[in-house]
Structures are given as C-alpha cells and as structure tokens.
Structure 1
Amino acid sequence: MSLQLHYREAGDPTAPPLILLHGLFGSSANWLGIARRLAADFRLIIPDLRNHGRSAHAMPMDYPVMVEDLLALMDQLGISAAHLCGHSMGGKVAMWLALQHPERLERLVVADIAPVSYSHRFDAIFDGLLGVDLSPAATRQQLDQQLARWVDDAGVRGYLLQNLLRIDGEWQWRLNLSGLQAALPELLSFPEVGGQAFPGEALFLHGSCSDYVRESYRPIILRHFPFARLRMIEGAGHWLYAEQPDKFTALCCSFFSADGNGGR
C-alpha cells in the first residue's frame, strides 16, 4: 500500500514537471540549492521518501514500494509523466520506475549510482547515529563532536545532522533508523530486472572522486538503459550536486532541453 509522501513544490507551475529524489539519510532539503537554479524552467516536485524527512515511518522499505509511493504522488498532483532526477538511493528509485512504468517518465537523470548491488559501507554511520547521546542539554556542536567518533568527514556529518531536530526540548532523528538499518540489504541491492530496458533517454552522471559508478558497470547500465549517456563531473565525489552544483545543473538543463545534449 502506498504512503502519502511529504513534498516541496517550487518553480513554474506551467513548466514541464521535474521530480528530484534524494538519497539514503537525505531529504527534500538536500535539493534546495539545485531547485533555485532550476526553478525558472521546471515545475519542481521534491518529495521526502518514506522513512526520511517529514514523510511517515513505514515498512517495508524497498524499491518497488517506493515507486508505488512516487506514482501515488504523481497521481495526486495530476502528473501523467515527468522528468526524473535521482541521487544514490533516489537514483535507484528512479531507475526502477523507468523500467516498470516507462510511460510515466519523460527523461531520466541518475546521479552517482548504477543498477547494481553494492557492498555494505554504512556500519559506521548507523553506529554513530544510534550511538550519539541525544541529551536535551547537548548543543548541535556537541552532537557533531560526538558523531565525529564514527564519521570523520565533516561534510558527511553535516549531511546527517540535517536530520536532527529539537522538538519540545528533545533531540529527535527524523530518520527511521531502525527501519533503514533493517532494510539496508534491500537498499544496497537492485531488484531483478531480467531483460527489461527503458526505451527513453537517460543521463548517468558520476563524480570523478567517487567509486559508485565504475567503468565495469557501463555494460549493465547500457543493457537496461540503451539510450543512456554517461558523463563524469570532474572534482566531484558522491554528493556531486552539492559539490559541483553549477556543472550538475548545466548538464541536467542541457539534457532535459529539446536537443538533450548531455553527451555520452
């Protein structure tokens, strides 16, 4: 059963709809900088996926059910088909929608992820988020210092701490941490695709400093997305839209335009 998602809406309501999907541990807030750059040209829909942001905590947590959530949101908003841009986990949601419901999609951008299974690399993050002492007396700076015991990258800590809110004097995580941890094997994998292929245009962007999209993944990407273009963004890691926002936006706008000149 689909879940009613919280979402942000921005941009030109008469322009082509573009849905932006965040990654694991993220929320719609992650896209606000990009949204400001795209607002003149698109009707932007930016949801919080289930167990993230202001959307409800609900299980199961896998790609088929997240796609059902997204289709229900599109129906709610009267959107028959849209452009889709997803980062990391959100990119997998976007790919699964493209493969299962290609008629609901115009063009697809996938940011720093591939339709493959990944090895577990989030133990330290879960340990940190679950291990931080959320004392009401703690400041956000003190909580950041605590989290640094497990997560040494200040940028990643800042990304994670966006999910920490003070409600009625108590610190609370917006994330459904126990649910996400239980669902992690599903989220790291990708559903069995068989011979399905998306018949539309797709652009796969990856950061030069990230190892999420390797050259060895190119054949499987092109098997399921035969009209895909693959482009590297120099100087970017996994969070390429935040690290190189101007390059990311320029590539997306070019691709979503009539000529679709994203480049292979």
Structure 2
Amino acid sequence: MLESLSPLPGAINLLLVLLSVLTSAFTAAVGVGGGVLMIMALAQVMPATALIPVHGMVQLGSNVGRTAMTWRHIDRATLLAFLPGVALGALAAAWLLVRLPAGVLELCIAAFVLFTCWGPGLPGRALGRVGTLIVGAVTTLLSSLVGASGPVVAAFIKQRQAGRLAKVATFSACMVAQHLTKAFVFGAAGFVFRDWLALMLSMVAAGFVGTWLGLRLLHRLSERRFDVLFRWALTLLALRLAWLGAQRLGLG
C-alpha cells in the first residue's frame, strides 16, 4: 500500500508522511522553519523535477490547515496588499528564462532575513502597501524558482505584526496564496501532479495533525518566548542559506 503512494519506495513514503507531522507542528509552534526543513528532506530522496512542485502542494495543504485554525487573527490589510504581488511574481516565474548564478539567490535571502531579525527594523514606507506588494512579488518568484521564500515572508511579517498568533496566522495566509500559484506555474510547465497525488494528500492530512499539535504548544508560549524562538529559528535558517550559497559560489 505504501508503495502505491508515489514512485518512491514505501518506507520513504512513510518517513515523508511522518516528517509532515513534525514540520507542520514546528511551523505552527515557532512560526517558521517547517517548510525549509521539509524541502531539505525531500531534496535527499526526490527527483529534482518533482521537488519544488510537490513541496509546494504539501505546504499549500499545511498552510490551509494553519490558516483555517487561526483565521480570526489574520491581518487582512497585510494579506490584501500581499496578494497582487503574488500574482505578479507568479506571472514572472511562468515566463522567466534568466536566473541568477547559483548561490547568489541564497546569499541575498540570508542577508535580508538577518537584517530584519537583528537590524534596526525596516522603515515605515517598506512596511506599507507598496512594500508589501513588492515582497509578495519577489518572494513568489523566489518560491517558484528555489522553494525557499518562507523565511523572507516570515521576516517581513515579523516587522508588521506584534502578537504571536497574528504572525502565524498572517504568515500562513500569505503562504497559501503563494503556494497556490505553483499549481498553475508547474501545471503549465507540464509537471504531472497525478503521479505524486496520493503522497501529497497523505502528507497534507498528516500536516493537519501536526498543525493541531503545534498550535496547542503555541498557546502555551508567552509572547517573549515565542519572539525569541521565532528570531532564532529565522537566524539559523538564514545562516544555513548563507552557507549553502557560499558553497555554490565556491567560497566554502
């Protein structure tokens, strides 16, 4: 039965379903990080052509569950400003032919995340509607190309939201919109989602369980403890991206 979930061996399919519980719980509790952990694991066992579209659909399901459970806390003004940028980024991803040299993208993402975590804070203009639209466009493009936009979106949301539930809810809603575009981008590119559908649905179902567990932990965290965990989770992800970028540029 497990072998029928995807072209991968049954034991690998089972491990990925269990991993979906863990990563969804991590993101729900800490606010960020599960998506990057997931794509790191998928990259070890999955063909490169399937990596980003399968990861995107699994993350879409996970974020839908998180959004449904926290919808009362969504900052709708941020979400509405983010959505036009998502549409622009998706159009660019569907047509973009030129890519930055391997490594540059990762270093740029890492620098932005570290600045938003430890720098003086983004200026008010960057946090307005235009700034949010630009972030939506750029991160959607990044997400379709490398699948690593989550830390950037989370770092930006961190600057706009005060409460832990608002951060998790608004981040999740923004990521739903972003991952949804991958179905159209990769579908238009000819990717056959049907071959991976059973595994994706199993991982999404497991993600609902993980989200429920993670939100229970989130409600027990104080605002201060959540902020510390959120900042350090972003920092560790940024440092990992910087190391990966340096390696790809031949600097590491």
TM-score class normalised by the smaller sequence: under 0.3
Larger Rg computed on CA atoms: 1
TM-score of the two chains, using structure 2 as the length reference: 0.27
Q: Indicate the structure with greater helix content.
A: 2
**TM-score normalised by the chain length of structure 1:** 0.26
